[in-house]
Structure 1
Amino acid sequence: MENLDVQNHLVKSLEEIRELVGSPHEAVVKKSIAMIDEQAKSYIEKSSMMFVASSNERGQCDVSPRGDAPGFVYVANAKQLVIPDRPGNKRVDTLSNILNNPHVGLLFIIPGMEEVLRVNGRAVVIKEHPVLENLKFKDKAPALGIVVDVEECFIHCPRALKHSGIWEHDSWLPKDRRPSSMDIFHAHLKINGYDVK
């Protein structure tokens, strides 16, 4: 399969984008705040799903899903959040990225709600800090946590989730038509020469 030839179709300036898209309404610009206010805190405390976007020192990006009981992300104060690092597959993509590039983007979701909360900031990885006691799961505090210093926070319009119909059960594919995660996993191992037995 050949790569797309896009060289004669590249957008090379923000001015070109603005010509096609237009400018945002003043309210859309001013909805962004540099803190976690009570409204944002309430949203985060009800969220059971979030995504962490990070990138390494070369700018290679990664987005990692994180989910737990509502309120699993701890709002330490108006400027800081703490995300528990629960045991997983041990790839530590997000953690290793943060060590090299502290900039992260967070996307919080409340099931059934079409508006999402976006938070951007700078992160560090911590261990053995008393704040981790606030993030216990089955009476066990995580070994590691991610502290995010909040630089930007805003509510995002419902268009994407509304158009996707993500919360509408009738729009979901039947189980027998959904992709098999195990088939994908094994196919990717095979591409990389790993023998699945």
Structure 2
Amino acid sequence: MHINTLQALRAIYKPASERALKKEIPGLDAHALQFIGLSPFLVLASGGATADLDANLDASPRGGEPGFVKVLDAHTLLIPDSPGNNRLDTLENIIATGRLGLLFLVPGFDETLRVNGRALLSSDAADLQLFAHAKRAPALVIRVTVESVYLHCAKALMRSQLWDATRHLDRATMPTMGEMLRDQIQTFRGETIDIEPQAQMLERYRQSL
């Protein structure tokens, strides 16, 4: 049975608690600012929906030294667009919809911070100057106008035990990135590509960090 109405959906779940509803705030307070300052990693969610761009939903990891996301004020964040694969899925979605969602993580913290808002792509000199000290200066930054902020409870990371080093898997559990890409491209495109050795791939990554 498919759940395809809000009424049917809500019939399955209890109402949200008062605390769950009240914890959403319209801007960055001192706790959110500290959380972002400690965070070296976030997931950026975006989606496109225009005549030319179907609903191309995207969730993109972004990382850097703690504090790599700059806070200008309680309603403005700047995220550097560090070198990547140049697919530009996220950036195209921002142009299409002007909206995004952010999930900040801090190593060792089971709580996460969610930030939603409007976004635009900026090549303004003043914005770029804030990242002039970076190893690789970004070509542009994502300027976020914060509309909602809330701390997300620890349950998901507690269940996954993400930070428990005793549960971390040996990378050799799965094939290398090059081997997986070779197999996927062969299976779905019928093309054969050369395998880039793992050590060579990692060194290439290091050169563009």
Same fold, judged at TM 0.5 (above) = yes
Task: Pick the aligned partner of 2:57 from 48, 56, 61.
Answer: 61
CA gap of 1:62–1:139, structure 2 versus 1, over 3 A, is: closer
CA gap of 1:90–1:16, structure 2 versus 1, over 3 A, is: same
1:36 aligns with 2:28: yes
Q: What secondary structure sits across from 1:135 in the alignment?
A: coil
Equivalent residue for 1:11? 3
Q: List structure 1 segments (4+ residues) > 3 angstroms apart after TM superposition.
A: 136-141
Task: Pick the aligned partner of 1:136 from 127, 132, 138.
Answer: 132
Q: What does the per-residue CA deviation read over 1:129-168, in whole Å, with 9 as the maximum and x for residues that have no partner?
A: 3022212354553220000111110000000011001100
Q: What secondary structure sits across from 1:63 in the alignment?
A: strand
Task: Pick the aligned partner of 2:118 from 115, 122, 147.
Answer: 122
Letter in 1 for 2:105: I
Equivalent residue for 1:195? 192
Corresponding residue pairs, total? 189
Conserved? CA contact 1:120–1:151, under 8 Å: yes
Equivalent residue for 1:171? 167
Letter in 2 for 1:53: A
Letter in 1 for 2:193: V
Mean alpha-carbon deviation: is it higher for 184-193 or for 119-128?
Answer: 184-193
Identity of aligned residues (%): 36
1:86 aligns with 2:82: yes
Alignment of 1:67-82 (within 5 A): 67-82=63-78
Q: What secondary structure sits across from 2:130 in the alignment?
A: helix
Structure 1: runs of 5+ lacking an equivalent: 1-8
- Structure 2 CA distance for aligned equivalents of residues 75 and 177 of structure 1: 39
1:45 aligns with 2:41: no
Task: Pick the aligned partner of 2:157 from 155, 161, 164.
Answer: 161
Q: How far off is 1:182 after superposition? A: 2.1
- Structure 2 CA distance for aligned equivalents of residues 39 and 19 of structure 1: 35
Structure 2: runs of 5+ lacking an equivalent: 195-209
Q: How far off is 1:195 after superposition? A: 2.7
Could you say what the CA RMSD is over the residues aligned between the two structures, in angstroms?
1.5
CA gap of 1:68–1:24, structure 2 versus 1, over 3 A, is: same
Equivalent residue for 1:3? none
Letter in 2 for 1:105: G
Q: What TM-score, normalized by structure 2, do the two folds share? A: 0.85
Q: How far off is 1:193 after superposition? A: 3.5
